Amino acid sequence: MRFKPTSQFMVAILFSLLVIACGQGEKKADDSKTTDSTSTATTDSTKMAAADASIDAVKAAPNLYKTLHDSLGIRIVEADYKPGDSSAMHSHPDYALYVIKGGKTQFIGKDGNKMVTEMQSAAENIRAAEFHSVKNVGKTEVKVLLVEVNRPMGTSSSDASMDASKVAPNLYKVIKDTMGIRILEATYKPGQSSAMHSHPDLALYAISGGTAEFTGKDGKKVKEDLKTGMSAVVPAETHAVKNVGKATLKVLLVEVSRPMK
């Protein structure tokens, strides 16, 4: 008789423990659901952001954007919009631009905001990465050269004393300088020459063509016929330059002082 109450008491305890354990198991399952939901939302958001960044202009509108050169993390793209032409939403990394032919364009941002801009011929600028669509709302063709920089932020080492704008300030004019990207205009009249100087990796565009003679550090001379409208991506180099032609040579240089990925 003494053992009967004890057995009933033990059964009651075991039953209570079982109920508590089941409750904790359900709580853990619910916690797990909450964590998975948050994780999924974060992942989806990250994927969407990555998708936005991957909407390349040349792929989104191959009839309007053409890749001219792509190397060293620098891509030269030509954008050509005739009146009424418009592009789908697309993205650009940090870039420099030169307006070959100006006109009136409408930019539509990701948020639907619209902005009409009168782009002036020969205008130059540097812009941070952006996402937009573009439409030519004017009556003239709009043609723009874009130099996209696919390199991380940061600075690459260089000898400041060999900077072209310091060595030959009468020949090299700094237009814009920000985000490790610098736009210069080099203008050489017939017979003009510069002392030895250096450039980091750069994009080149001949605004007004001519014939130049480049002398390297080793004294080797190379003559180049730079035709109006030609472009190139040029690796870092040190040289002296002389206009050996009969026409004034004017060149746009977009220097990239950022490290490679």
pLDDT of residue 2 exceeding 80: no
- Give pLDDT, residue 53: 52
Is residue 227 predicted with pLDDT exceeding 70? Answer: yes
- Identify the CATH homologous superfamily for domain 160-256: Jelly Rolls (2.60.120.10)
Average pLDDT over residues 37-52: 41
Show the tokens assigned to 183: 């736009």
Q: What is the pLDDT of residues 123-136, one digit of tens each?
A: 999 999 999 999 99
Length of the chain equals: 261
Look at residue 114 and tell me whether its pLDDT is greater than 90.
Answer: yes
* Residue 140 clears pLDDT 70, i.e. is over it: yes
> In the prediction, which pLDDT does 54 show?
63
Tell me, what's the pLDDT at 15?
Answer: 41
Q: Looking at residues 158-179, what average pLDDT do you find?
A: 95
Helix (H, G, I), strand (E, B) or coil at 185: strand
Please identify, in words, the CATH class of the domain defined by 57-149.
mainly beta
What span, in angstroms and rounded, lies between the C-alpha atoms of 248 and 144? 23
pLDDT band at residue 22, thresholds of 50, 70 and 90?
Answer: very low
Band of residue 1 on the pLDDT scale cut at 50, 70, 90: very low
Whole-prediction pTM value?
A: 0.79
What is the rounded average pLDDT for all residues in the chain? 85
Position 28 scores a pLDDT of: 41
Q: Rounded to an integer, what distance in angstroms lies between the CA atom of residue 200 and that of residue 163?
A: 9
Give tens-digit pLDDT for 86-101.
Answer: 999 999 999 999 999 9
- The pLDDT-based confidence of 9 (bands split at 50, 70, 90) is very low
- 152 vs 13, residue with greater confidence: 152
DSSP designation for 179: T
Within 10 angstroms of residue 113's Cβ, the number of other Cβ atoms is 9
Q: Which residue has the tokens 């990394």?
A: 93
Distance CA 144, CA 127 (A): 14
Q: How far apart are CA 176 and CA 125, in angstroms?
A: 7
3-state DSSP assignment of residue 166: helix
